[in-house]
Amino acid sequence: MIRITELALPLDHPEDAIKSAILKRLNIKESDLNDFTVFKRSYDARKKNTEIKFVYIIHADLKNEAEVLARFEDDHNVKVAPDTDYHPVAQAPEDLTERPIIIGFGPCGLFAALILAQMGFKPIVLERGKEVRARTKDTWALWRKHQLTTESNVQYGEGGAGLFSDGKLYSQIKDKKFYGRKVMSEFVRAGAPEEIMYVSKPHIGTFRLTGVVSRMREEIKALGGEVRFESKVSELDIEDGQITGVTLANGDTLKSRYVVLALGHSSRDTFRMLHRKGVYLEAKPFAIGFRIEHPQSLIDHVRLGKYAGHPELGAADYKVIHHAKNGRAVYSFCMCPGGTVVAATSEEGRVVTNGMSQYSRNERNANSGIVVGIYPNKDYPEGPLAGIELQERLESNAFLMGGEDYTAPGQLVGDFIKGVPSTELGEVIPSYKPGIKLTDLAPSLPNYAIEAIREALPAFGKKIKGFDQDDAILTGIETRTSSPVCIKRDDNKFESINTKGLYPAGEGAGYAGGILSAGVDGIKVAEALAKQMMADLKGE
């Protein structure tokens, strides 16, 4: 297989233009091309006012591969394609009696379970929240009726935190083994659109993701795995530094010497339990800030110029960063084109925001988190759980500022920059459900964060004209940008550094940030666990 990179074609090219371009690029006859696949398609928007083109990476199966490679020896855009297929690392024996346990059924737990099931290890998944349909109902009750269900919400339940999301499926992780392709191909097999395999910034959107996740759960079960909902793990059973099993909130116990911890970043009671049990964890950096909303048309216009609204490009995204004079970095986080801002709390008496969108991304507003990086030694030096405590304080205060019914505090950008409370909306209508209360957001975050965001917004306005327009909306607050703790693990064996058989994984453990990287981490941990189980079986 040959890989051709940098193959450029106009945005509106017909389907068969790709084949013609390959034949021309390699100077071969049609009969010499057995087959080809589009490995990646991106576009370069720097020439937005002249011509935006698609740029392809193609994998081509040729009759005379050696001859073509020799001819293009000095051309770095024509090379042998890497092996991107997934190869399982183990196969469990038929008579395996001990079953691995996976705590959490977000993207990390989902992929850990799927990979283990595909290798014959018949995992048992324990998920504190409900299955996808019941969970959707509970989540909408918060957004529509101000009613929170603490064990079934945006953070907890089948599919994890990524279920009600934009479903962005890209990440900047290094992925030499192409685990990301495995994640994508499993999503496609379960009903996600085929294009996620090749577009440079794929996304599924929330409604499609729900169907995909439930079909993957059925596959895990068909392979002999089990998925138990409403099964919160309240204790880890540890003897002499070795995990021996888990105890559920209802008192049930399960035995296993192999447990994956795929908790997500919001399971604060479980982090506290881990700390109490002596599992090593430490505070890590995360970020705090607000959600900002603009008309999507403004972002499309600035980012895509005359191509704004082009059906092949969809709603435009952005990424901004500013280094403030007080030493803080302010940056956009989890940008959702054509989406909505959502209430993302899992705890009573707290307000926290996030963003989501549908596959079509056709809501009127663009939103993103505008957040400030914060650090354990500097901002919350009081021990491993201090980041959690800071999040709790800020989220409780935001709840009070919103009026104590999950309404979020909000402010117009112009007023925020001037430091005066907002009293009236402009043309940008906030999308946050269950609603916002206009106020002064300054008391909602530490001073250094307010100062840095105040400085950053006009700076962003220089990069994206209109970003700091007076009636853009800020909704408070964003605190769960990533996990406030890291559950330290060994770099090679992926086990906790002080608890044998315990595999911290995904976002909650500090080893992923986003759906794709959490899925990839689930695969890595499943492989490490499977290898260890096989070695233990052989007595190695």
Residue 278 beta carbon to ligand FAD: minimum distance, rounded to whole angstroms: 17
Would you call 196 exposed, middle or buried from its count of C-beta atoms within 10 A (0-12, 13-18, 19+)? buried
> By C-beta, is 106 or 295 nearer to ligand FAD?
106
Encode burial over 430-444: b for 16+ CB neighbours within 10 A, e otherwise. Answer: bbbbbbbebbebbeb
> By C-beta, is 127 or 451 nearer to ligand FAD?
127
> By C-beta, is 104 or 225 nearer to ligand FAD?
104
Residue 228 CA to its chain's centroid (Å): 23
**Using CA atoms, how far apart are residues 365 and 472, in angstroms rounded to an integer?**
10
Residue 488 beta carbon to ligand FAD: minimum distance, rounded to whole angstroms: 16
> By C-beta, is 304 or 341 nearer to ligand FAD?
341
Pair type for strands 485-486 and 282-283: antiparallel
Residue 72 beta carbon to ligand FAD: minimum distance, rounded to whole angstroms: 36
Q: Are 277 and 261 in contact (CB under 8 A)?
A: no
**CA dihedral of residues 459, 463, 466, 469 (deg, nearest 10):** -10
Q: Which amino acid is at 131?
A: E
**Using CA atoms, how far apart are residues 173 and 22, in angstroms rounded to an integer?**
30
Pair type for strands 53-62 and 2-10: antiparallel
> By C-beta, is 9 or 188 nearer to ligand FAD?
188
> By C-beta, is 115 or 534 nearer to ligand FAD?
115
**Using CA atoms, how far apart are residues 217 and 221, in angstroms rounded to an integer?**
6
Rg (the chain; Cα; Å): 24
Count CB neighbours of 479 within 10 A: 30
> By C-beta, is 28 or 246 nearer to ligand FAD?
246
> By C-beta, is 227 or 450 nearer to ligand FAD?
227
**Using CA atoms, how far apart are residues 262 and 158, in angstroms rounded to an integer?**
12
Helix (H, G, I), strand (E, B) or coil at 241: coil
**Using CA atoms, how far apart are residues 490 and 277, in angstroms rounded to an integer?**
19
End-to-end CA gap in the chain: 39
Residue 126 beta carbon to ligand FAD: minimum distance, rounded to whole angstroms: 5
Residue 485 beta carbon to ligand FAD: minimum distance, rounded to whole angstroms: 13
Angle at Cα 500 formed by Cα 259 and Cα 252, nearest 5°?
Answer: 40
Residue 375 beta carbon to ligand FAD: minimum distance, rounded to whole angstroms: 20
> By C-beta, is 157 or 338 nearer to ligand FAD?
157
Helix (H, G, I), strand (E, B) or coil at 101: strand
> By C-beta, is 299 or 342 nearer to ligand FAD?
342
Count CB neighbours of 250 within 10 A: 9
Helix (H, G, I), strand (E, B) or coil at 39: strand
> By C-beta, is 161 or 390 nearer to ligand FAD?
161
Backbone angles phi, psi at 33, to 5 degrees: -100, 105
Would you call 298 exposed, middle or buried from its count of C-beta atoms within 10 A (0-12, 13-18, 19+)? buried
Q: Which amino acid is at 231?
A: S
Residue 514 beta carbon to ligand FAD: minimum distance, rounded to whole angstroms: 3
Residue 528 beta carbon to ligand FAD: minimum distance, rounded to whole angstroms: 16
**Distances from the Cα of 116 to the Cα of 121, 175, 285, angstroms:** 5, 20, 31
**Using CA atoms, how far apart are residues 519 and 180, in angstroms rounded to an integer?**
8
Residue 473 beta carbon to ligand FAD: minimum distance, rounded to whole angstroms: 17
Residue 486 beta carbon to ligand FAD: minimum distance, rounded to whole angstroms: 13
Q: Are 127 and 227 in contact (CB under 8 A)?
A: yes
Residue 151 beta carbon to ligand FAD: minimum distance, rounded to whole angstroms: 8
> By C-beta, is 235 or 440 nearer to ligand FAD?
235
**What residue ranges bind ligand FAD (CB under 6 A)?**
103-109, 126-129, 154-157, 160-162, 164-168, 232-233, 262-264, 267, 270, 334, 342, 344, 354-356, 506-508, 512-516, 518
Residue 482 beta carbon to ligand FAD: minimum distance, rounded to whole angstroms: 8
